[in-house]
Amino acid sequence: MQIQEDVANYTDGVNQWIAETRVDPTKLDVLYAATGHPQGPEPWSQTDIVATGALVAGIFGKGGGGEVGSTLAYQAARDDLGSKTGTRVWKDFQSPDDPEAPRTVKRGRFPYQLPGGRKGAALPDPGSVEAVPTVQSSTGGRAAQAAGPVSEDYPDFSSVLGPLSELDAGSNALVVSGRESEGGKPAAVFGPQTGYFAPQLLIEQDAHAPATDEYGPAIDARGVAFIGTNLYVQLGRGVDYSFSATSAGQDIVDTYAIKLCEPGGGQPTMDSMGYRWRGECLPIEMIEKTNAWTPNAADMTPPATETLQAFRTNAGLITHRATVKGKPFAYTSLRATYKREVDAARSFADWNSPDVVTDAESWIKSAYKDDLTFNWFYTDSREVAYFNTGANPVRGKGVPAHFPVRAKPRFMWKNYDPELNTFKRQPIRKHAQVLGPAVPYLVEQQVGPRHRLRQRQVLQRGLSLGAA
C-alpha cells in the first residue's frame, strides 16, 4: 500500500510540474523545442514509470540467456574441429565459476550452480535455426532483415570467440571495514557507472517524508536515481548509512523450446502461430507497435517508420524458430524479472527509511526483495556489508545449463506460474553476502557492456587492482 501511494503521489507531482510549464514555458528545457515538442512533455502516467523501470532493468539488472547462440557455437566447433576437440574448445569458452579466481566474498561459499546434464535438451537440427526479427517492416531505407531477434542472449554467435569482444570498463566499488581503515571507521568508494548521455539517466535528489500510520515508515535519503522511476533514492545514503551497486549479471534468463502446432488443426510448420502447452494448442500472442519519426534540430535522421513485433507465449518471447528432430519448434527467452521489473521498489522503499534500515542485517533482509541482478554494498559507522540480489530461479535437476530446454514442467523452473511469472527462488542464505567486518576489504569491478564480472578481493592489507 505504501509503494502504491508513493507511485500515485510521484505521478501527481510530475504532472503538476507539466501543468506549470503550460503556464510558464520558461521552465522547459530547450531540448523539448529542439526535438520537435515545443509544448513540452505529455502528461505522465504510472504506466510510464513501469516502462522506464523495465528499460533500466533490462539494461542493468539481468544476465544469462544465450542458449541458442551457445548451441550454434557448440555445433560449429564440433563441425570444424571434430566432436571431441570441438566440445573441449567450446567448453573452454564457457563461463563457469573458477575456483582459483579471487572473490568478493572471502569466507563462506554461495555457489549459484547451474544444473548440468542433458535432460530435456532441445538442440536444433543443423542449419534449421531462423532468428525472429523485431522489425517486421520499415520505410526510409532501413531494411527489416537487418534487425536482430527479440532476445536476451548473444548476438549471432556462430563463433565461440564472440564474448571476447565485450571486455570494457564498468562500475566498481571499494569497501574497507573500520578494523582496516586508518580512521577506525568503515570507508567506501562507489563508482556506479551508467555511461554518459544527454539527458543523463541519473538525477541527484533528496527524498523526505514523515512516517504515517496509514502508509508506513518515514523516508529520509539523498543520492541519485533513474529519471522516471525516482520516487526513491536508488544509490546514495540514509540518515547514517550508505549503499551503492554494480551490475552482477548472474543467469536469470533461460531458453525454452516449444513445439509448434496449428490452432485450427492440421500439420504444423515453421510458420505456425500455435504452440503446445500442457496438452493444448494455444495461440501465439502477437504484440505490434509502429513508430514514426521526422528530423528535428537535435536529430537530423531522415523521416521513416518501422513496425515492431514480438511474439509472446507462456514460456517467454519467441526469439528463433527451428526444427528439432525434424519437428517445427520455437525457442523462447524467459527472464525471471519479466512482468516484475519494478518489484525492486520494495528494497528501495526500505533503504530510504531509517525506520526499516537500522543496521547491516536489516539492510540485507531488505536487499533480498530486489529481483534485479546487482552487487550491493553497504556501510555505516560500524559495519560493512555486501549482498548479491536477483530472482535466482530453482531449476530442474539434470537440465543443461548452456542449451535450450523443452518447455515442460519437469524441465522448467520449479513451481513456475506463467500468469504471474512466479517460481521457486533460491533462499536468502544462498545469495552471496558478507555481513560485518569479517572481510577487511570488499572490492568489485564489473567489466563489459553485458556486465560480465571480473571480481577482485584484497587478501592482505596492501591493495591491488590487477586485472583478472
Question: What is the overall mean pLDDT for the chain?
Answer: 85
Can you give the pLDDT at residue 110? 78
The DSSP letter of residue 60 is: H
Q: Count of CB atoms within 10 A of residue 450's CB?
A: 18
* CA distance linking residue 443 with residue 458, whole number of Å: 7
How many domains in the chain?
Answer: 1
Q: Does 360 have pLDDT greater than 60?
A: yes
**Which one has a higher pLDDT value, 405 or 201?**
405
Q: Could you tell me the three cell numbers for 423?
A: 517460481
Q: Please list the residues that pair with 174 across neighbouring strands.
A: 189, 443
The DSSP letter of residue 451 is: T
- Give domain status of residue 346, yes or no: no
- Give domain status of residue 25, yes or no: no
Can you give the pLDDT at residue 161? 54
**Which one has a higher pLDDT value, 269 or 301?**
269
Can you give the pLDDT at residue 147? 47
Contact 155, 148 (CB under 8 A): yes
- Give domain status of residue 331, yes or no: yes
- Give domain status of residue 266, yes or no: yes
- Give domain status of residue 148, yes or no: yes
Find out whether the peptide bond into 303 is cis, omega within 30 degrees of 0: no
Helices 83-92, 67-81: axis angle to 10 degrees equals 140
Q: What are 34-64's pLDDT values in tens digits?
A: 888 899 999 999 999 999 999 988 888 999 9
CATH number at residue 141: 2.30.120.10
Q: Count of CB atoms within 10 A of residue 426's CB?
A: 14
Q: What is the full DSSP assignment across 250-268? A: ---EEEEEEEEE-TTSS--
Domain that holds residue 270: 67-95+112-156+253-335
Q: Does 330 have pLDDT greater than 60?
A: yes
Q: Which of 361, 362, 175, 338 is nearest to 254 (CA)?
A: 338
- Give domain status of residue 465, yes or no: no
What proportion of the chain, given as a percentage, has pLDDT over 90? 63
The DSSP letter of residue 391 is: -
The DSSP letter of residue 71 is: H
* CA distance linking residue 443 with residue 421, whole number of Å: 34
Kindly report the three-state secondary structure assignment for every residue of 409-444.
CCCCCCCCECCCCECCECCHHHCCEEECCCCCEEEE
- Give domain status of residue 33, yes or no: no
Q: Does 91 have pLDDT greater than 50?
A: yes
Q: Which of 468, 466, 462, 449 is nearest to 171 (CA)?
A: 449
Q: What is the length of the chain?
A: 468
How big is the chain by its Cα radius of gyration, in Å? 24
453 pLDDT band (50/70/90 cuts)? very low
